[in-house]
Structure 1
Amino acid sequence: MHLDHAQHGPAAVSADSARPDGTRRALRIGLGGPVGSGKTATVAALCRTLRDELSIAVVTNDIYTREDAAFLLREAVLPPERIQAVETGACPHTAIRDDISANLEAVEDLEDSIAPLDLILVESGGDNLTATFSRGLVDAQIFVIDVAGGDDIPRKGGPGVTTSDLLVVNKTDLAPHVGSDLEGMARDAGAQRGELPVAFTSLKSEDGVKPVADWVRGQLAAWTA
């Protein structure tokens, strides 16, 4: 069963594509989604898959802790200096969409201290289906949902599902255990998103993050062209 929609061109990118010294800055990709959908695990898998070919850094967001950053550090997916944590102190969408100053500062600090960077992943704290990133912060956004949250999530829509540059339906290995209809989720996602791509992933399987990693490579190729 093939459930991955084809990629239909690069996402829109921010206008400020150059650093103050005139060099091209890193591509910034945001990852959002509900609590427990697998955002941090997806970031970790992307880092393991891409770190030998790209120069990567990560910014994580949590409300009152640095738990996601601590997980990435424990897993040693990147050297510690390439991972920064932001404590939002408020609803996660505030720091990625409304007042992005803390995240912008973290991104710029990483660019200043580790140059050159090819890719910066900005992970939001767990939020609801309305979470989106400011285009002043990221160039493209991934929204992660999981089958255990209910196979009606794509049908419910919301900006995260309908407008993200890539929708990831994660934990497909759990579908038989929770009664989720993957084909139905694929149909509903296609109806909500039109030509925007969807990737179905199971990070428990070998190379399970491949469709997301391939999409990131495509975004980076467009960014550097």
Structure 2
Amino acid sequence: MSPRRSVADTLETRQRILDHSLAIASAEGLEGLTIGRLATELEMSKAGLLGHFGTKEALQLAVVDQAAAVFLREVPGKVEQMPSGLPRLRAVCEAWVSYLERNVLPGGCFFTAATTEFDGRSGRVRDALAGMNALWRRDLRIHIRRAVSDDDLPRSTDVEQLIFELLGIMLALNHFLQLEHDNAAPARARQALKRLLTN
């Protein structure tokens, strides 16, 4: 086997582990990831699986990164061509609703589940989740401020309050989709967003 093929195989195996781990973690939490379970389900040895990450914490951190990559692809990545400001904000919120509505991950919003699991803890995983959430709020803040400066939202808009309410809508949407299996929830979320994002 050539060195290039060996590297490609290693990367492919690592990606397969991450994809499977993310599916489990979205539904059962990051603590649901055990080396034994993953090795059994992926038909690998424990040593072979650990060789890709080293520790369970390293695996959890890699899964957080993988979840972020999926979210970036499915939400902001879908609307990159939209004009900045309110058009981009509305489009990104629609992509966010669609992401949850389509069950891209089997357990709904990974970050909602993982944040609930780790918000009362300390450590690198909790810090990584907090960092990802902070980056997302920063992006929303940029879009909102641009919408205000373009006069597409009122000058009196409380940016932090609007971010709080947007996040609240998405948390409620995830709750009603995952716990209640309420097919009307996306329409309710869109109605709430329309009310918030109209000048």
TM norm. shorter chain > 0.5: no
Which TM-score applies when normalising by structure 1? 0.24
Structure with the largest fraction of helix: 2
Q: Whose radius of gyration is greater, 1 or 2?
A: 2
Which TM-score applies when normalising by structure 2? 0.27
Structure with the largest fraction of strand: 1
